[in-house]
Amino acid sequence: MEVVIVPDATAGGELIAETIASLLSRKPDALLGVATGSTPLPIYQALAAKVRSGAVDASRARVCQLDEYVGLPVGHPESYRSVVLREVIEPLGLSEASFMGPDGAAEDVQAACEAYDKALAEAGGVDLQLLGIGTDGHIGFNEPCSSLASRTRIKTLTEQTRVDNARFFDGDTEQVPRHVITQGIGTILESRHPILLATGEGKADAVALTVEGPLASVVPASALQLHPHATVVVDEAAASKLKLADYFRATYASKPAWQGL
């Protein structure tokens, strides 16, 4: 995988927004897989600014969700559908029709998971998949020991993830759903270009294990080592435990500009 160390979260957001812009100029109806959480917000803000200034035409872009809570009432402000509508679809001026995600309120959750995997394939597959990383190394909601071949399915959150996400639920861990739907690791690996952004010291251990540790389901993000074109963008704080940081810096500094990410 390629590791790019940027000075801060804003620079990471700008770099990835540039990459999305370049994709949309080549493929205006690209399918963009978006992640939730705090980390990707600078990407969405930078991309929305480019759309507003006319530098990017995102009008034909299609957007798909990575994961979703199970059991939140439809329209709950912290359902990931609501978050993506608020943080991505509206700022980019897209319509809800260009957006798809798994149905976390479905009665038959298993059928909803299978339907979502099928819908992604029928849409031609994900062109660029944005990812954050959990402090335990999860991507999407693939918690430690998720199968590296997994498909979209229901998962149970670890206590750590519920504590981490309680900040979106009035700081109350009990309000964080226990179950979620997530694209599987196998599903994520089918995207043409996964890009993981990690910022802040709290992600430094997970990043080091993802990039420099062995491929292991106990660190789900390490599965990106299997992808022929995976990019990990980290700020200085999240890169602070990488032994090969200087090598990654030197490599990126001498990369031909035409290659992009």
> Which residue do the tokens 């200034």 mark?
53
> Binding to ligand GLP by residue 125, rule CB under 6 A?
no
Name which of 92, 70, 61, 84 is nearest 157 in CA terms: 70
Rounded to 5°, angle at Cα 249 from 246 and 250: 85
Active site residue 164: no
CB 216 within 8 A of CB 222: yes
Number of residues lying near ligand GLP (CB under 6 A): 14
**Residue type for 244, please?**
L
Determine if 141 is a binding residue for ligand GLP (CB under 6 A).
yes
161 binds ligand GLP (CB under 6 A): yes
Span of 12-20, 126-134, 226-234, 252-260 interacting with ligand GLP by CB under 6 A: 126-134
> Which of 162, 164, 190, 182 lies closest to 174, judged by CA?
162
Q: State yes or no: residue 33 binds ligand GLP (CB under 6 A).
A: no
- Told to check if 187 binds ligand GLP by CB under 6 A, we report no
Residue 140 touching ligand GLP (CB under 6 A): yes
Q: Measured between alpha carbons, how far is 72 from 80 in angstroms, rounded to an integer?
A: 10
Catalytic-role residue among 67, 68, 103, 127: 67
Q: What is the dihedral of CA 230, 236, 238, 241, to 10 degrees?
A: 100
If binding is defined by CB under 6 A, does position 38 make contact with ligand GLP?
A: yes
Token pair belonging to 96: 């809800």
- Contact letters for ligand GLP, residues 52-71 (x by CB under 6 A): --------------xx----
For residue 67, indicate whether it is catalytic. Answer: yes
Q: Which residues are annotated as catalytic?
A: 67, 136, 138, 143
Residues that bind ligand GLP (CB under 6 A): 35-39, 66-67, 132-134, 140-141, 161, 165
